[in-house]
Amino acid sequence: MKKLSFSAVLSPASLLVLAVLLTAFYAALHMAGWREQVSILSGTSSATRSSGEVQIAQGLVYAGLYFGMTLLVPVLVLAALLQLLYQCLLRRESPSVTTTTAPPTRIDVDQERQA
């Protein structure tokens, strides 16, 4: 199994996948009607204790994903675009370069072995 490294997580593709996943989760919870449960933010909870605990969990998850959608997703997309832009500029400066996700060099292989 391929080992997941920090660098892979921070690649443009990974950032975009994360953004899509967050958006999809948020959309699913939104369509499931969890938005109403965020009344817990003003200290308003459901009538019964058990439903109140469920509501707190749903409200917190929904609110977390909503703020993730509005604050984090644009940052992830923007970061991916900045990386792609950077790579484009480098390619323009060095025509020999094709992509940053080129096949592994000997140094990569050595490093993997060491790891």
Partner 1 sequence: MTIRAWGGIGGWRQFWLGMASLIAATVIWLPLVHVFFQSNPTDYRSANAIPPRAARIAQRHIRLWRDPQLRSDATALLRVNNPEWDLMSRSYLVLSLVNMSLREPDRRPDDVATVDRIIDDTLAAERQQGHFHFLLPYAHARPFTQSPVRSHHVDSQIALMLAARCVLERHEEYDQLLRDRVELMQRRMETSAVLAVESYPDECWMFDIVNGLAAMRMADTAVGTDHASFVRRWLSVAHSKLTDPRTGLMLSSFTRTGQPLDGPEGSTIWMVAHGLQLVDRDLARDQYRRARDELSETLLGFGYAREWPSSWVGPSDVDSGPPIPGLDASAGASGLALVGASAFDDEAYLAQLVTTLDFAGFPREEAGALQYCASNELGDAVLLYATVLGPLWEQVQSGDTP
Which residues sit at the interface with partner 1, rule CB under 8 A? Answer: 5-11, 15, 35-39, 41-47, 63, 66, 70-71, 74-80, 82-83, 86, 90-91, 94, 96-105, 107-108, 111
**What is the nearest approach in angstroms of partner 1 to the Cβ of residue 55?**
11
Looking at the Cβ atoms of 28 and 104, the one nearer to partner 1 is: 104
Which of 8/24 has CB closer to partner 1? 8
Minimal distance, residue 83 CB to partner 1, in Å: 5
For the bound state, the minimum distance from the C-beta of residue 76 to partner 1, rounded and expressed in Å, comes to: 8
CB of 24 to partner 1, least distance (A): 20
Going by C-alpha positions, the residue among 62, 56, 30 that lies closest to residue 43 is 56
Cβ-contact 36, 59 below 8 angstroms:
no
Per-position DSSP letters for 47-78, written without gaps between them: SSHHHHHHHHHHHHHHHHHHHIIIIIHHHHHH
Largest pairwise CA distance in the chain: 67
- 8 Å CB contact between 65 and 25: yes
